[in-house]
Structure 1
């Protein structure tokens, strides 16, 4: 039976992926900084910045899902050595969590994407657009909605094909367990594109209170994020918002339907679910 290592196993995409693989009856190793796990799941302590945790995490692993270290502008520094070590351990397949807006060879995770052909026998990069759960879970947008009834961005009226993290996990699960090598570039979106003003309207209806979108310029957004966000991260957020404003994320893909056989969830679906 194949053994699957899931890094970031308690995170946005890792947790639902662990659940999906367990539902399928797969042998899962949940890797994160604190080695606790759901029932029927092995767990290992794993820290990208602590190489002493890497060998044990890779023991008897056939395929793995890699979540980059958050907010690291140069994840390749720690991820490429780990991929080389995984190859030495006999790991055959790598599924990498990327981002729709960052292609192979682009900055940050794009550098890891570009290195995969030389580092993995079989590989796939799951590149989702922005998470729907950013408005309902642990995220600055969700916090601002709960506290102030405001979503603050530099996106203007640019639209995004927001995607449910469970749909990302479902695609990643297929990429991990399929008998044939998976597609190498899997851009994952929801079924429709929405502006942040559209999202605010949906939240207002669902929560039965006013939620508004506050558009700022990129420089004003950096100032707004202030001490709550590292300066380098705030600059990246502003740059990404600027790309959304120009239409870079205004599209949808059929990846969820193609790989899972069902349509992706809508934001309305998620909001109704979390408010019932």
Structure 2
């Protein structure tokens, strides 16, 4: 393990050529397909800078063809030296690895050998609060102890995370919520385009903010309640805030199977929000670029048409999924396939036969026993359940059935009696599972059929 407090001895490479430290012409951009990188590459090109756009999968790069696309993989040392070939400066985003400090230290040594002199490290807002033993801060210390013309930028949460399926996009579109652990503190969301604009200035002028670390923020800090209010008012999309405690978030992350190192990292982020670190509003963007950062209102106005289209597509998909769920449920019930039937329900199902409102069935185990008993009243060899009407939305399904079966339950004559009846099911669906069901039917139909068969 490399000791980050040990000064890296770059003097041993002093015989290698060094480029003019005041003239940066070729920039290597790591993470060129990321939120900031995809904006940084064209911005640098517009300044007549040669760009080497680094990515693990060069075929996935969708930037301008004027950039030189190079393959870069932190786990492949050979790609490191090849990517740095001819570079004067580097836009560096730390790797997502338990060995990030070691990897960055090795990369800086390669930078020296390649003759690069300018370095902008994309860190994170929370890093300034971390101890020297945390990986985020350790990477910063390696950079700070180097002899490059370095600047560390610490962006706050990206506004674009709201549209990212892996951050908040999915829950906003699919569930109408934003779940965060904030303790009531705010976040000064920043547009990734402003991060790129700031990085352009820093990379093109090595004398600017030399050996300095600073936070990049948007123009205002918003609590989760204020954020959801802003989303609703500007986009028209209904979304509500969900405040999650650190302990509850940890339980959920373990339940979801997240690795322990990622859980620890996310807990540090949550603690930083609660401590108020992310509520800081700075003038760094304007100080470097000469203009104020974009507001979250600006982003939301741009996002609104796309969000509406995405939400409509998601809504249609959910409705179709709920219709299909109802079809699977009735097929399993009619076929007396209890296991397949139970897969349609969640563990906390509440089932009510509406004619008997004082006899609700609660929980999957009780529901299993109820359905086994109910289905046992019929000879299943010729049982038919036909869906007559089906109406569904994102959260509910209403289906009308016409059923015919040979009743062999209590009071039935030998050989049973054929009975036909209608039933209406009203169901609430959450995340693809039925959580409540109410069945409407006339129970006297069975009694009348038995009496008639006995006459």
Aligned residues: 275
Q: Using a 3 Å threshold, how does the CA distance of structure 1 residues 236 and 117 change in structure 2: closer, same or farther?
A: closer
Given that 1:219 and 1:238 are in contact with CA atoms closer than 8 Å, whether structure 2 keeps it comes out as no
What is the Cα deviation at residue 178 of structure 1?
0.8
User: What runs of 5+ residues in structure 1 fail to find an aligned partner?
Assistant: none
User: What runs of 5+ residues in structure 2 fail to find an aligned partner?
Assistant: 1-23, 306-455
Pick aligned residue for 1:115 from 142, 153, 176: 142
Deviation string for 1:72-111 (max 9, x for gaps)?
3441121110111111111101110101111284621211
Q: Does 1:130 align with 2:153?
A: no
Q: Secondary structure at the match of 1:238?
A: helix
Deviation string for 1:124-155 (max 9, x for gaps)?
11111111111123432121111101111121
CA distance in 1, matches of 2:147, 2:47: 25
Find the counterpart in structure 2 of residue 97 from structure 1.
122
Counterparts of 1:98-247 in structure 2, within 5 Å, are 98-103=123-128, 105=132, 107-183=134-210, 184-225=212-253, 226-227=255-256, 229-247=258-276
Q: Does 1:81 align with 2:106?
A: yes
Find the counterpart in structure 2 of residue 50 from structure 1.
76
Deviation string for 1:151-187 (max 9, x for gaps)?
1112121111111011111111111111524342121
Q: Which has the larger radius of gyration?
A: 2
Given that 1:44 and 1:57 are in contact with CA atoms closer than 8 Å, whether structure 2 keeps it comes out as yes
After TM superposition, the runs of 4+ consecutive aligned structure 1 residues lying more than 6 A away are none
Counterparts of 1:34-49 in structure 2, within 5 Å, are 34-35=57-58, 36=61, 37-49=63-75
Counterparts of 1:256-275 in structure 2, within 5 Å, are 256-275=285-304
Mean Cα displacement is larger for which, 257-266 or 230-239? 230-239
In proportion to residue count, which structure has more strand? Answer: 2
What is the Cα deviation at residue 259 of structure 1?
0.7
Q: Using a 3 Å threshold, how does the CA distance of structure 1 residues 117 and 262 change in structure 2: closer, same or farther?
A: same
Mean Cα displacement is larger for which, 191-200 or 221-230? 221-230
TM-score, normalising length from structure 2? 0.58
CA distance in 2, matches of 1:147, 1:137: 12
TM-score, normalising length from structure 1? 0.93
